[in-house]
Amino acid sequence: MGFAWILYRWKINVKRLPSLGEKLTVRTWSSGMERIYAYRSFRIFDEQDNIICEALSTWLVINIEKRSVCSVPPDIFDKYVNLDECIFKNVYTANPLSLAKDELLTVPYTVRKHHLDYNLHMNNAKYVELFLDSVNLEIEKSFDLEVTYKKECLLGNEISCTYFNTDNTNTVVAVIKLSDADNNRNANTLFKLEV
pLDDT, tens digit (0-9, with 9 covering 90-100), for 138-180 = 666 788 888 988 888 899 999 988 888 888 878 888 888 887 7
The answer on pLDDT for 1 being more than 70 is yes
Instruction: Based on the fold, state whether residues 23 and 108 are members of the same structural domain.
Output: no
Instruction: Based on the fold, state whether residues 108 and 62 are members of the same structural domain.
Output: no
* Among the listed residues 67, 82, 91, the one whose alpha carbon sits nearest the alpha carbon of residue 34: 82
Across residues 41-56, what is the average pLDDT?
96
DSSP state of 92: S
Q: What is the tally of structural domains in the chain?
A: 2
Domain limit, last residue, from 45, 77, 109: 77
The pairing of beta strand 37-45 with beta strand 143-149? unpaired
Share the mean pLDDT of the chain: 86
Q: How far apart are the first and last CA of the chain?
A: 42
Dmax over Cα atoms in the chain, in whole Å? 50
Instruction: Based on the fold, state whether residues 106 and 165 are members of the same structural domain.
Output: yes
Structural domain of 143: 96-194
CATH number for the domain harbouring residue 144: 3.10.129.10
Instruction: Based on the fold, state whether residues 107 and 171 are members of the same structural domain.
Output: yes
Say what the pTM is.
0.84
Q: How far apart are CA 156 and CA 26, in angstroms?
A: 35
Q: Is residue 90 part of a domain?
A: no
Instruction: Based on the fold, state whether residues 112 and 184 are members of the same structural domain.
Output: yes
Q: What's the confidence (pLDDT) of residue 27? A: 96
Q: Is residue 86 part of a domain?
A: no
Q: Is residue 103 part of a domain?
A: yes
Contacts of 53 (CB under 8 A, 6+ apart): 12, 13, 14, 15, 42, 43, 44
Q: Is residue 138 part of a domain?
A: yes
Instruction: Based on the fold, state whether residues 60 and 104 are members of the same structural domain.
Output: no
Q: What angle do CA 88, 93, 99 make, to 5 degrees?
A: 150
Enclosing H/E stretch for 23 = none
Instruction: Based on the fold, state whether residues 48 and 100 are members of the same structural domain.
Output: no
Q: How far apart are CA 177 and CA 188, in angstroms?
A: 5
Instruction: Based on the fold, state whether residues 106 and 49 are members of the same structural domain.
Output: no
Instruction: Based on the fold, state whether residues 117 and 186 are members of the same structural domain.
Output: yes
Q: What's the confidence (pLDDT) of residue 59? A: 93
Instruction: Based on the fold, state whether residues 190 and 101 are members of the same structural domain.
Output: yes
pLDDT, tens digit (0-9, with 9 covering 90-100), for 66-117 = 888 999 888 888 888 878 888 887 677 777 888 888 888 888 999 999 999 9
Contacts of 48 (CB under 8 A, 6+ apart): none
Q: Is residue 141 part of a domain?
A: yes
The answer on pLDDT for 186 being more than 60 is no
The answer on pLDDT for 22 being more than 80 is yes
Q: How far apart are CA 194 and CA 171, in angstroms?
A: 4
Instruction: Based on the fold, state whether residues 107 and 153 are members of the same structural domain.
Output: yes
More confident residue, 34 or 116: 116
Q: How far apart are CA 56 and CA 177, in angstroms?
A: 24
Q: Is residue 85 part of a domain?
A: no
Q: Is residue 84 part of a domain?
A: no
Across residues 35-52, what is the average pLDDT?
94
The answer on pLDDT for 185 being more than 70 is no
Q: Residue 60's pLDDT band (boundaries 50, 70, 90)?
A: very high
Q: Is residue 58 part of a domain?
A: yes
Q: How far apart are CA 167 and CA 169, in angstroms?
A: 6
Q: What's the confidence (pLDDT) of residue 91? A: 72
More confident residue, 29 or 79: 29
Instruction: Based on the fold, state whether residues 103 and 182 are members of the same structural domain.
Output: yes
